[in-house]
Amino acid sequence: MHRNEHAIAIDAPRELVFRWLTEPELMQRWIGGLLEFEPLDPGPALGSRSRQVMRIKGQSFELESVITSFDPPAALDVRVEHKGFDSTSAYGLEEHEGHTHLTATIETTYKLFANRLLGGLVTREAQKKLVADLSRLKSLLESA
């Protein structure tokens, strides 16, 4: 199991930050490489599924996700499945004096031999992407 984690303080109320974590149109603005987001069930809600198309480092791939924990505006967990990996993203939001402290944790299991072999490298790249995505989210929310 490989783990990525990053925390960031955002000058916005957590209800607004939570919306940016769950609304497809908003997610496409801050998640790098997210080309398509298609809800498969009504939601966002516990158990709702979606299909995403991502493009990272010139490679496009399709993912399916399901919300496994839904506690607005405090927490959200999403499980993503792909033929090469499974991951769980957990978001925790705490509000302090009008600022939101957002913590994102991603745990990934690589299923294919090549992915397992390159797991350390992939995890380092995933960390860079996580930091960049959350920085973009902060910028967008604070400039609005």
Burial class, 123, CB count within 10 angstroms (exposed 0-12 / middle 13-18 / buried 19+)? middle
**pTM beyond 0.75:** yes
Out of 25-29, 80-84, 91-95, 125-129, pick the least confident. Answer: 80-84
- The answer to whether residue 87 sits within a structural domain is yes
Q: Please, which pLDDT band fits residue 118 given cuts at 50, 70 and 90?
A: low
Q: How confident is the model at residue 123 (pLDDT cuts 50, 70, 90)?
A: confident
Nearest to 51 by CA among 70, 41, 61, 65: 65
Overall number of domains in the chain: 1
Domain assignment present for residue 36? The answer is no
- The pLDDT value recorded for residue 116 is 57
Range of the domain at 10: 2-31+71-143
Residue 57 domain-assigned (yes or no)? no
Q: Quick one: average pLDDT of 24-28?
A: 96
CATH number of the domain encompassing residue 89: 3.30.530.20
* Residue 20 domain-assigned (yes or no): yes
60 lies in a domain?
Answer: no
Calculated CA dihedral for residues 2, 45, 96, 17, nearest 10 degrees: 80
